[in-house]
């Protein structure tokens, strides 16, 4: 996005991203229309509005000092200078939110977490390195696969609850995913609703 975004709002954007991820995966967002003002929807709107405000602040700041960004080599400067995208700056916040989600949940994120954990454990890193040097078929190395699976277990890209709407047979397997009974939907919805009612929402009702 640019050094100004990272310096001024990097940590806040990171927290907003995780907050939006949690609220998007909320059960009530699956069963209620987006105009119903339940707690998760209100929190999500508050975070989306804040991301929009951050982008407005940073873009206005750039407009006051355009000379600082003449030769900038980053995505926002490129889109601001491209005639095909310059007029879409009101949508930059939504666009970059999608990009942040994509980066957070992609293979790149999984690789980054795996490398980070290996760096934190030199013994395991050296063990894996020796194993890969000796294995001619490195991509199918059980050692490497174990590390990747453990990364996926500890650092899931997206955390949300999904329930099958009908019984599903997984092709080429003997696995059947049953449709949960109606009372389970109701029980989960009631539990989550009570949880959100008891969770305070920070913000002014008059804002926006």
Q: Specify if 154 maps to a domain.
A: yes
The domain tally of the chain equals 1
- pLDDT value at residue 203: 44
Q: 149: domain range? A: 107-158
Distance CA 71, CA 81 (A): 11
Residue partners of 178: CB distance under 8 A and separation at least 6: 164, 167
- pLDDT value at residue 157: 58
pTM, two decimals, is 0.55
Q: Angle of helix 3-24 relative to helix 39-64, nearest 10 degrees? A: 170
Q: How far is CA 136 from CA 15, 112, 148, in A?
A: 42, 24, 19
SS3 category, 168: strand
Q: Specify if 136 maps to a domain.
A: yes
Q: Specify if 19 maps to a domain.
A: no
Q: Specify if 121 maps to a domain.
A: yes
Regions of the chain with pLDDT less than 50: 201, 203-208
């Amino acid at each position: 996005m640019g050094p100004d975004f990272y310096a001024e709002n990097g940590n806040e954007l990171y927290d907003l991203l995780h907050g939006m991820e949690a609220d998007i995966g909320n059960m009530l967002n699956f069963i209620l229309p987006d105009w119903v003002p339940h707690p998760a929807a209100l929190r999500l709107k508050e975070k989306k509005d804040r991301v929009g405000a951050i982008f407005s602040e940073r873009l206005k700041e750039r407009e006051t000092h355009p000379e600082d960004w003449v030769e900038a080599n980053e995505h926002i400067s490129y889109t601001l200078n491209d005639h095909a995208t310059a007029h879409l700056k009101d949508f930059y916040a939504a666009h970059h939110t999608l990009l942040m989600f994509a980066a957070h949940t992609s293979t790149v994120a999984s690789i980054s977490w795996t490398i980070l954990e290996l760096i934190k454990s030199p013994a395991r890193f050296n063990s894996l390195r020796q194993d890969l040097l000796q294995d001619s078929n490195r991509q199918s190395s059980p050692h490497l696969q174990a590390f990747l699976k453990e990364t996926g277990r500890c650092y899931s890209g997206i955390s949300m609850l999904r329930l099958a709407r009908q019984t599903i047979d997984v092709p080429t397997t003997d696995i059947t995913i049953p449709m949960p009974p109606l009372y389970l939907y109701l029980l989960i919805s009631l539990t989550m609703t009570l949880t959100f009612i008891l969770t305070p929402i920070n913000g002014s009702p008059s804002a926006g």
